[in-house]
Structure 1
Amino acid sequence: MEKKEYFLNTRKIIPEILKLFEDYNIACTWATVGMLFNQNWEEWNANMPEVLPNYKNRALSAYSYGKKIQSEENEVLCFAPDIIKSIVNTPRQEVATHTYSHYYCLEHAQTIHSFETDLQQCVDMAILCGVNLTSLVFPRNQFNKEYLKVCKNLGIDNVRSNPTDWYWRSTKNNSILNKIFRTGDAYVGLNDKSYKQPEDPINFNLPISQKASRFLRPYSTNKRFNDLKLKRIKGEMTKAALNGEIYHLWWHPHNFGNHPDESLEDLKQLLIHFDNLRKKHGYSSLNMDDIGRLVKK
């Protein structure tokens, strides 16, 4: 599939995901790259922060990449204020931040100052669109404890952290072994990913750290693997419901880009299973902001 079709599918599928969430009364946090708030390349250039990330690997910079690909034709693929508005207007959906430029917080030569500038730009643009950002997901899961105070100072009360398994501890250096164990863990294993409460719930001088549980991997044309993936998630959800635990399922909307219809069907299966757990065991659907508010109480 061509990359353009892949991302156009992503745009088309988000309203369908929102409809499913509304039908099943699902709360969700949408960690949104701040650049998507721009209308076009003209706004993107005008809203460029004064301090940019100075990655040793220049290819990681969204600014360098954006300057290379600017054209009127691809604006629809790079900006999405209309989609953000549809998320805001759907009940129980939280627009959170994924930083302004998909900022990599553990890469060589980036600094806390450039991170703060990046996040400030995101917060300011969100306010102009009527969005108050209170939750953050670090891009590429590069959780950096040194940056939590910056987050708190800019109004971020909740951040997503990583599972505690050894193969999730280093998200910057994705070794072959780490990838193998992360992939295998999606299909089989005994180490369920639900948990009782967020980390450090007493220290409100920093954001509340909410661990990710399970990445919903893209649809697989191998039916056996796809069924194992869904069985794994349903089993973990059931265990979490029975034990009153948090189960944080996550994915990127573009993970549905290659097989949109099949991916939506997978999601619907999971939502039906959750709805049964809610009816039988009183299990709740919450977004990151909801959980943060409950912890504070």
Structure 2
Amino acid sequence: MNNNGTLVISLDFELLWGVFDKVDHKEKTTYFKNTRQVIPGILNLFSEYEIHCTWATVGMLFNENWEDWKENIPEILPQYKNRNLSAYDYGNSIPSFETEFLCFSKELIRKIQNTPNQEIGTHTYSHYYCLEEGQALASFRADLEKAIELAEKMGIELKTLVFPRNQFNESYLKVCYDLGIENVRSNPTNWYWKDTQNDSLKNKIFRTADAYLGPKNKSYRLNELKVEEGKPFSQKASRLLRPYSSNKFLNDLKLKRIKSEMTTAAKRKEIYHLWWHPHNFGENPERNLKDLRIILEEFKKLKLTYGFRSENMNSILR
């Protein structure tokens, strides 16, 4: 890769599969309609600013409808102790024509696929929880194989994986590698990102505060990352882009912080890895797109001044 600084963006594309255990889908109709509409807006901005991005996509989104979904259930399922986490239990409880737009999005996947510089990666097939009690290597392999199978039917070769809810599981890396996954996203090194399974209130408070206060150096050099034979390359996330806040002071502070961190990365010739969920833009979509444009305008300036580059998780290694 080029030795200049690099902006890497990865998005966790989930729709309802990412939050079904936390929300009532009947109350999220407008939210997810906005999400589906905002994704083309994100892609238009990426095209305008020539931004590369990895879309880590839940495999269930590749289905056309509930009939397809039922035909594509893996032979081995995760046996979570907390059954509320099972996408299969949940899917069997809500199948209807009205809920299909919450759970399937083959047309949006095609739109991403047809947009220059976009990589479609995987967020596992079922938004698989890799640290929850009841998960196992065999069910994880079956889950990932199903995601690969459906992607291949669309001519997509999955090379990158993002663990759902950032439940990074070292013991699953060899399975990923054996199935052709070359890159995974790992968590920031801050202590409040280490225990993503239990996700205590204290951790949530510090993660939120980190968007506005505290140490600003979030970038790194590629050669600082650990490379192990027989395992995918682990690329560290730098910053979660939090959604628009109606508190102007906090929202401006968030944007100022990101722009400052990008500038540091550009000057030091380091990597700055920004990530979020498309559904984070489901509330106040126009405001969120405006914030994204502000960030990309800053990228454009840094590109002209320092040769700052844009890469996705796969292209950065080419």
TM range (shorter): over 0.9
- Counterpart check, 1:89 vs 2:114: yes
- Counterpart check, 1:261 vs 2:286: yes
| Secondary structure at the counterpart of residue 97 of structure 2 | coil
CA contact (8 A) 1:158 1:292 kept: no
- For 1:134 and 1:100, the matched residues in 2 are separated by 14
| Number of residue pairs matched by the alignment | 292
**Could you list the per-position Cα deviations for residues 175-209 of structure 1 after superposition, in whole angstroms to 9, with x for gaps in the alignment?**
121111111110111242111116223x3421000
Task: Give the alignment partner of residue 199 of structure 1, picking from 209, 222, 225.
Answer: 225
Unaligned runs of 5+ in 2: 1-25
Match of 2:256 in 1: 231
Which residue identity is paired with 1:114?
Answer: S
- Counterpart check, 1:174 vs 2:203: no
Which residue identity is paired with 1:200?
Answer: K
CA contact (8 A) 1:157 1:292 kept: no
Question: Cα offset for 1:67?
Answer: 0.5
Which residue identity is paired with 1:70?
Answer: P
Which residue identity is paired with 1:290?
Answer: S
Task: Give the alignment partner of residue 17 of structure 1, picking from 6, 20, 42.
Answer: 42
Correspondences of 1:38-187 after superposition (within 5 Å): 38-187=63-212
| Secondary structure at the counterpart of residue 55 of structure 1 | coil
| Secondary structure at the counterpart of residue 121 of structure 2 | strand
Q: TM-score, normalised by structure 2?
A: 0.90
* Percent pairwise identity: 60
**Higher deviation after alignment, 283-292 or 1-10:** 1-10
- For 2:198 and 2:270, the matched residues in 1 are separated by 30
Q: TM-score, normalised by structure 1?
A: 0.97
Q: Which has the higher strand share?
A: 2
CA contact (8 A) 1:162 1:212 kept: yes
Which residue identity is paired with 2:282?
Answer: G
Match of 1:276 in 2: 301
Question: Cα offset for 1:61?
Answer: 0.6
| Secondary structure at the counterpart of residue 49 of structure 1 | coil
Which residue identity is paired with 2:154?
Answer: C
Task: Give the alignment partner of residue 219 of structure 1, picking from 231, 244, 248.
Answer: 244
**Could you list the per-position Cα deviations for residues 266-287 of structure 1 after superposition, in whole angstroms to 9, with x for gaps in the alignment?**
0000000001000100010000
- For 1:109 and 1:13, the matched residues in 2 are separated by 35
- For 2:216 and 2:240, the matched residues in 1 are separated by 14
| Secondary structure at the counterpart of residue 303 of structure 2 | helix
- For 2:37 and 2:216, the matched residues in 1 are separated by 35
Task: Give the alignment partner of residue 8 of structure 1, picking from 11, 18, 33.
Answer: 33
| Secondary structure at the counterpart of residue 283 of structure 2 | coil
**Could you list the per-position Cα deviations for residues 11-50 of structure 1 after superposition, in whole angstroms to 9, with x for gaps in the alignment?**
0010111000000000000000000000000000000001
| Secondary structure at the counterpart of residue 136 of structure 1 | strand
- For 2:236 and 2:295, the matched residues in 1 are separated by 20
- For 1:209 and 1:292, the matched residues in 2 are separated by 11
- For 2:204 and 2:40, the matched residues in 1 are separated by 31
Structure 1 runs (4+) greater than 3 angstroms displaced: none
CA contact (8 A) 2:216 2:261 kept: no
Match of 1:244 in 2: 269
CA contact (8 A) 2:167 2:197 kept: yes
CA contact (8 A) 2:216 2:257 kept: no
Match of 2:58 in 1: 33
- For 1:94 and 1:204, the matched residues in 2 are separated by 24
Let me know the Cα RMSD of the aligned residues.
1.1
Higher relative contact order (CA 8 A, sep 6+): 2
